């Protein structure tokens, strides 16, 4: 069995722990936060990819969408900084 597409979609964040996703990613709902913290009890240092299939579809979607939004903000900020400094866009 391969890695679920949704885990691939979150890229390097799949290596973050459940704690890091719960605490550091903006947009995580209270429900997803609770699910992530319930998984932490099993192994606090395990990456979220290890428990991906234990999360509800709603939590998986929330994590994926929150990460996509964060990445979009980072890309926008990066492009704005390049423009301010006179570097070409992409």
**Nearest alpha carbon to residue 48 among 4, 27, 18:** 18
In a domain, 89, yes or no: no
Share of the chain above pLDDT 90, in %: 49
pLDDT score of 83:
58
pTM reported for the whole predicted model? 0.74
| Contacts (Cβ under 8 Å, ≥6 apart) of 76 | none
In a domain, 86, yes or no: no
pLDDT score of 81:
57
In a domain, 60, yes or no: yes
pLDDT score of 63:
94
pLDDT score of 27:
95
What integer is the mean pLDDT of 19-44? 93
What integer is the mean pLDDT of 16-25? 93
What long-range pairs does 29-32 form, CB within 8 A, spacing at least 24? 29/62, 31/58, 31/59, 31/62, 32/58, 32/59, 32/62, 32/63
CB 27 within 8 A of CB 42: no
| 19 has a pLDDT exceeding 80 | yes
In a domain, 90, yes or no: no
Helix (H, G, I), strand (E, B) or coil at 25: coil
In a domain, 77, yes or no: yes
What residue numbers bound the domain in which 67 lies?
A: 5-81
Number of structural domains in the chain:
1
In a domain, 88, yes or no: no
The more confident residue out of 71 and 28 is 28
């Amino acid at each position: 069995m391969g890695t679920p597409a949704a885990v691939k979609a979150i890229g390097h964040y799949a290596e973050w722990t459940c704690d890091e996703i719960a605490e550091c990613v903006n947009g995580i709902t209270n429900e997803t936060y609770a699910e992530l913290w319930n998984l932490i009890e099993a192994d606090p240092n395990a990456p979220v990819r290890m428990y991906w299939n234990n999360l509800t579809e709603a939590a998986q979607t929330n994590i994926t969408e929150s990460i996509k939004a964060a990445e979009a903000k980072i890309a926008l900020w990066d492009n704005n900084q390049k423009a301010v400094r006179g570097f070409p866009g992409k």
